[in-house]
Amino acid sequence: MENVIIVRFGEINLKGKNKRFFEGKLIKHIRFQLKEFIDTEIYQEYSRLYIRSRKEDQGKIIEKVRKVFGIVSLSTAVSIPSDIDAIRKASFELMKERFDKEAFKTFRVTTKRANKKFPIPSMEVSSDVGGFVLKSFNGELSVDVHQPDVTLIVEIRQKTYITCDHFPAYGGLPLETNGSALLLLSGGIDSPVAGWMMGKRGVKVHAVHFHSYPFTSERAQEKILDLARELQNYIGEFMIFNVNLLKIQKAINEECPDEEMTIHSRRFMTRIAEKIAKRYELQALITGDNIGQVASQTMESLQVVSEVASIPIFRPLIAYDKQDIIKVAKEINTYEISIQPFEDCCSVFLPKKPLTRPRLNNIVESEQHLDVEGLVTEAIEDMEIMKLTFNQE
Amino acid sequence: MEIYLDNAATTKPLHNVMKMLEKEAFSGYGNPSSLHRKGLETEKKIKEARRNIAREINGKYNDIYFTSGGTESNNLALIGFFTKNFKSIKPFRCVTLKTEHKSILKSMDHILSKGANVQYVHVDKNGLIDLVNLEMLLKEGVDLLSVSHVNNETGVIQPIEKIGKLFKKYYSAGYFHVDGVQSFCKIPLNVMDAKIDALSISAHKIHGLKGTGVLYLRDKNKVNPLFFGGAQEGEVRPGTENFPGIIGLDAALKELGKSYSSYYKEVADKKRYFMENILETIDHVSVNGIAGESGSPYILNLSFLGVKSEVLLHSLESDGIYVSSGSACNAKKSDRSHVLEAMNLNDHRIDSAIRFSFSPFTTYEELDETVEVLRNHVESLRRIMMR
């Protein structure tokens, strides 16, 4: 008998000829998560992956591997020879173990017989094993085929796998299978979620952060690092480009109407982000924009801002409600960090009454008073680049 | 270049503290509660520290209890007294000031929620206690009075001796707690003369180590412990003693205590020099609290009108100068200083308030440099912020 973890993947199975490529990436990312565990091994059978490990490590491994995009769910299982006596015995032991951890009342058995050489049909295996478990539990359990507390799954292949738990993962596609992009990462709730969502679709994400030190605190930058460390658990190693926007904000403050402050800042951020993206061969920008949330996220504002970029700007949260964004932020552990008070934009520069419907002509005209090219170049020259690697605490 | 003018938040440990640690903490690892010689050796050193601290405040050495710092001492003094006595004293009447440290105010909130009655003495625009108002409250009856010797944000010195005597005149069995965190080893205080029942002290404000504090308690039977365990510290504060912290405090006290009146004068001169320099070179600066005799020489609180204090703080920081906006303990929140609010200062003044706090080791060169840098930042920030 052997303890394994079953790794199930969904969408990759639809990939036809490219499936190998996706599987390769997936295995690479799983292997990375397994680095710290000894005596582990990944093997593949048909369209399934299995992780062999020490039993005591299984909980921790599931917690880590669950964060690898492309995986739909995981289960701990025992693998045994395909023999009905062995199946009965192992089924009971597994159920007993689960029961001792957390008492439950009802169960059912589902059998999948992939190996048609096995002489007993699925239905019969299910009722045989179910009967055996029922008897062995001496009346403590009953069968419920519709809404059982626990489903015991018997999969008869070359060997037989038995499992009675199920850990959902995030689905999506393995990282590095869908290009790369630069995330505009603020200290807020939305942008980390936006980055995570694009990562989930296989996009390799790097981040740019804008601050106004010394008008803002260094703690705002520390907050970005904290957010990045959480994101890293999902999207792997990435770079953070730290750009000081203060000089630009001062220039805007001096030369442009007060109410245009935010929109000009945003245009500058987009220009700078695009330049960085191009320099590092990243193909798109990602923002946490959400339509109508604040003045700079009206349709007009988004249009005036997008206008300065020649590469796509992805806004995965555009139609989300705040509550749904918060739900994801909590799930990925960034929420508590995001709500800390350190602002990355100084309130000195916040206009009293920001424009909600900027007109491109007016904005372009005010911009004539600024040395846009020069300011952008200087900001990029002065930026700080951090590479966030694993094991960095 | 690094100019540290945030000594009211914390101080840099003295060399002699670190040297003492290296020497004693290695060899003195015994647990004072152990019966063998190794434990006794440690116990002796702790007793020595206790004596030195007691001498400093004119208390008895066995009334000195070591804690984890000022916050714990304040909590123990107030909450400990409340839990011991709230059944026998009804109504349980407490008085304090709105300008106190959060560890006092929050402890008061806690005992208020448990049924005590809490009142606040008025302070004037400089943060000084209103003795007439105090007397009025005392006449009505007060069981617990807590006043800090030196305010941590403005440096205002309260007339502790006068307050203590007044309190005991009306009610000799009353319990008088003084938060001495900002004054210990800096400004003389005699617990007997001032009729103090409990005094809080912290080591890291006088160049000792963080995580070490003292509560002087004239009568330990007046308080319950906050937590429970062994018989250490007269059962007022169970738990194995923080030996490195305690000998660190002792070492700092030895060095600073012996010449503190000369330090007082030196620091007072430097503060006056610094302040006059600023007022001369920078316009629209106002002093919060008292600049003269009733102010601690170690703390200076100024408002640079029109400049948001946090922005000025970070601007100074970018030039290696460290100051505080309000109290360092609340710097994490963006709300206004409760101390300055209690003094009824207007919002412009509160939003632009910066605290400079000195040590005996602050130099004139550092102060000159700071004035110069300040002037530049204040000018350029005003250009942006007052637009």
Give tens-digit pLDDT for B263-310: 999 999 999 999 999 999 999 999 999 877 789 999 999 999 999 898
Same domain, A148 and A282: no
Above pLDDT 70, what percent of chain B? 97
Residue A345's domain comprises 180-388
Name chain B contacts of A341, Cβ cutoff 8 Å: 332-334
Residues whose CB is less than 8 angstroms from the CB of residue B34 and which lie 6 or more positions away in sequence, other chains included: none
**Which residues lie across from B65 on neighbouring strands?**
B215
Of A168, A201, A217, the residue that ends a domain is: A168
State the total domains in chain A. 2
The per-residue pLDDT of chain A, averaged, comes to 92
A253/B384 touch (CB, cutoff 8 Å), yes or no: yes
Least CA distance to A218: which residue of chain B?
Answer: B314
B314/A348 touch (CB, cutoff 8 Å), yes or no: no
Distance from CA of B311 to the nearest CA of A (A): 5
Same domain, A186 and A164: no
Position A7 scores a pLDDT of: 95
Distance from CA of A320 to the nearest CA of B (A): 30
Distance from CA of A244 to the nearest CA of B (A): 13
Kindly give the residue spans of alpha helices, DSSP state H, lying in A66-189: 84-101, 122-136
State yes or no: pLDDT of B329 exceeds 60.
Answer: no
Position B290 scores a pLDDT of: 85
Position B332 scores a pLDDT of: 42
The per-residue pLDDT of chain B, averaged, comes to 93
- Give residue-wise pLDDT tens across range A326-372: 999 999 999 999 988 776 666 678 887 888 899 999 999 999 999 99
Q: Annotated active-site positions of B, please?
A: 329
Position B328 scores a pLDDT of: 37
For residue B314, give the nearest of A213, A254, A341 by CB distance. Answer: A213
| Rounded-to-integer distance, Cα A100 and Cα A53, Å | 22
| DSSP characters over A39-99 | S-EEEEETTEEEEE--GGGHHHHHHHHTTSTTEEEEEEEEEEES-HHHHHHHHHHHHHHHH
| DSSP characters over B143-193 | SEEEEESB-TTT-BBP-HHHHHHHHHHH-TT-EEEEE-TTTTTTS---TTT
State yes or no: pLDDT of A391 exceeds 60.
Answer: no
Same domain, A13 and A87: yes
A214/B387 touch (CB, cutoff 8 Å), yes or no: no
**A154: helix, strand or coil:** strand
Same domain, A135 and A207: no
| Rounded-to-integer distance, Cα B70 and Cα A153, Å | 60
Same domain, A335 and A206: yes
What mean pLDDT do residues B135-160 have? Answer: 97
CATH of the domain at A81: 3.30.2130.30
Give the ipTM of the model, two decimals please: 0.81
State yes or no: pLDDT of A101 exceeds 70.
Answer: yes
Asked if the structure places residue A175 within a domain, the reply is no
Same domain, A51 and A123: yes
Position B291 scores a pLDDT of: 75
For residue B384, give the nearest of A213, A218, A250 by CB distance. Answer: A250
Name chain A contacts of B315, Cβ cutoff 8 Å: 214
Name chain B contacts of A216, Cβ cutoff 8 Å: 314
B315/A216 touch (CB, cutoff 8 Å), yes or no: no
Same domain, A162 and A44: yes
- Give residue-wise pLDDT tens across range B101-124: 999 999 999 999 999 999 999 999
Of A168, A201, A220, the residue that ends a domain is: A168
Same domain, A143 and A222: no
Same domain, A163 and A224: no
Same domain, A120 and A204: no
Residues whose CB is less than 8 angstroms from the CB of residue A155 and which lie 6 or more positions away in sequence, other chains included: A111, A112, A114, A161, A162, A163
Of A148, A168, A188, the residue that ends a domain is: A168
For residue A348, give the nearest of B308, B332, B333 by CB distance. Answer: B308
State yes or no: pLDDT of A393 exceeds 80.
Answer: no
State yes or no: pLDDT of B330 exceeds 80.
Answer: no
Q: Are strands B213-217 and B64-67 parallel, antiparallel or unpaired?
A: antiparallel
Structure-token pair, residue B385: 């912020």
Same domain, A160 and A209: no
Name chain A contacts of B384, Cβ cutoff 8 Å: 250, 253, 348
A215/B314 touch (CB, cutoff 8 Å), yes or no: yes
Q: Are B377 and B316 in contact (CB under 8 A)?
A: yes
Least CA distance to A341: which residue of chain B?
Answer: B333
CATH of the domain at A316: 3.40.50.620
Count of A-B CB contacts under 8 Å: 27
What mean pLDDT do residues B59-64 have? Answer: 96
What's the count of helices (H) and strands (E) in chain A, helices before strands? 13, 15
Sorting pLDDT into bands at 50, 70 and 90, what band is B387?
Answer: low
Asked if the structure places residue A242 within a domain, the reply is yes
Least CA distance to B307: which residue of chain A?
Answer: A348
Asked if the structure places residue A393 within a domain, the reply is no
Asked if the structure places residue A150 within a domain, the reply is yes
State yes or no: pLDDT of A42 exceeds 90.
Answer: yes
Asked if the structure places residue A378 within a domain, the reply is yes
Asked if the structure places residue A173 within a domain, the reply is no
Same domain, A148 and A102: yes
- Give residue-wise pLDDT tens across range B7-31: 999 999 999 999 999 988 888 899 9
- Give residue-wise pLDDT tens across range A276-295: 999 999 999 999 999 988 88
Position A381 scores a pLDDT of: 96
Asked if the structure places residue A327 within a domain, the reply is yes
Structure-token pair, residue A229: 């460390």
Position A330 scores a pLDDT of: 97
**A102: helix, strand or coil:** coil
Residues whose CB is less than 8 angstroms from the CB of residue B384 and which lie 6 or more positions away in sequence, other chains included: A250, A253, A348
State yes or no: pLDDT of B333 exceeds 60.
Answer: no
Above pLDDT 70, what percent of chain A? 98
Asked if the structure places residue A270 within a domain, the reply is yes
State yes or no: pLDDT of A270 exceeds 90.
Answer: yes
Position A218 scores a pLDDT of: 87
